[in-house]
């Protein structure tokens, strides 16, 4: 028991440090591709945390959908656009220091709220969080939301095709369009 406690504690500490490092990397990196790599680090660390919490199915989904599909999509867009970012300009709306102070206050508030959670965790069986258990709940109690989720995905696919097949970009200012035409 004591040994298991130690292993879990060390694993959580490692994943927490990696996730925080990745999170800082996302918002602090100059190059967008470094931000994507930071996001990937966060997602993988969180998948390990889900395993520690007994959510095997969700951990697998996290790796396949988030770390696989969504990050690949981000990398694709970064590669495709090669965008310049005018990050060097002075801020008009919110100075970064104020943003940091606001976010730190918000984090303190959330942690204070989380610290009020009391009581031991429920004891669960060996099949907790497996594909069988989650799938059974998904196809019985949550069958209707599950079907609605498929509609959401269809709408997303149709929307992406419609947006990317647009011949002339919508919202281009008329003057700029004239310049491009010449």
Partner 1 sequence: MSVPAVCYLGLSAVLFALGTLGVLVRRSALVVFMSVELMLNAVNLTLVTFARVRGAVDGQIVVFFVLVVAAAEVVIGLAIIVNIFRARDTVDVDDVDLLRG
Instruction: Kindly identify the residues of this chain, within the stretch 76-135, that bind partner 1 according to CB under 8 A.
Output: 77-78, 80-81, 83-87, 89, 91-94, 96, 99-100, 102-104, 106-107, 110-111, 113-115, 117, 119, 121-124, 128-129, 133-134
Query: What stretches of 53-166 show up as alpha helix (H) in DSSP?
Result: 56-61, 71-81, 96-114, 131-139, 143-164
Contacts of 60 (CB under 8 A, 6+ apart): 131
Residue 58's Cβ-count burial label (10 Å; 0-12, 13-18, 19+) is middle
Cα 162 off chain centre by: 25
Q: Site size for partner 1, by CB under 8 A?
A: 94
Cβ nearer to partner 1, comparing 122 with 181: 122
**Token pair for residue 178?**
């004239």
Contact between 41 and partner 1 (CB under 8 A)?
Answer: no
Query: Which residues, numbered 6-25, are part of the site for partner 1 (CB under 8 A)?
Result: 8-9, 12, 16, 19-20, 23-24
Query: Which residues, numbered 51-80, are part of the site for partner 1 (CB under 8 A)?
Result: 52-55, 57-58, 61-62, 65-66, 69-70, 73-74, 77-78, 80
Among the listed residues 126, 144, 163, 175, the single contact to partner 1 using CB under 8 A: 163
Among the listed residues 126, 144, 166, 178, the single contact to partner 1 using CB under 8 A: 166
Contact between 169 and partner 1 (CB under 8 A)?
Answer: yes
Cα 59 off chain centre by: 13
Closest by CA position to 59, among listed 15, 5, 24: 15
The dihedrals phi and psi of 83, each to the nearest 5 degrees, come to -85, 145
Query: Which residues, numbered 140-159, are part of the site for partner 1 (CB under 8 A)?
Result: 142, 145, 149, 152-153, 155-157, 159
């Amino acid at each position: 028991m004591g040994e298991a406690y130690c292993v879990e504690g060390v694993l959580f500490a490692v994943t927490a440090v990696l996730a925080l490092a990745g999170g800082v990397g996302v918002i602090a990196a100059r190059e967008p591709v470094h931000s994507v790599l930071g996001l990937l680090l966060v997602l993988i660390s969180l998948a390990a945390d889900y395993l520690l919490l007994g959510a095997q199915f969700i951990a697998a989904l996290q790796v396949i959908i988030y770390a696989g599909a969504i990050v690949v999509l981000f990398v694709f867009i970064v590669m495709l656009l090669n965008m310049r970012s005018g990050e060097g300009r002075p801020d008009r709306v919110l100075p970064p220091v104020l943003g940091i102070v606001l976010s730190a206050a918000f984090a303190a508030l959330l942690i204070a709220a989380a610290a009020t959670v009391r009581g031991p965790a429920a004891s669960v069986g060996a099949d907790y969080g497996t594909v069988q258990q989650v799938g059974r709940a998904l196809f019985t109690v949550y069958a209707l939301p599950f079907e609605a989720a498929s509609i959401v995905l269809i709408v997303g696919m149709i929307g992406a095709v419609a947006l990317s097949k647009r011949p002339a970009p919508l919202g281009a200012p008329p003057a700029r369009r004239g310049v491009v035409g010449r």
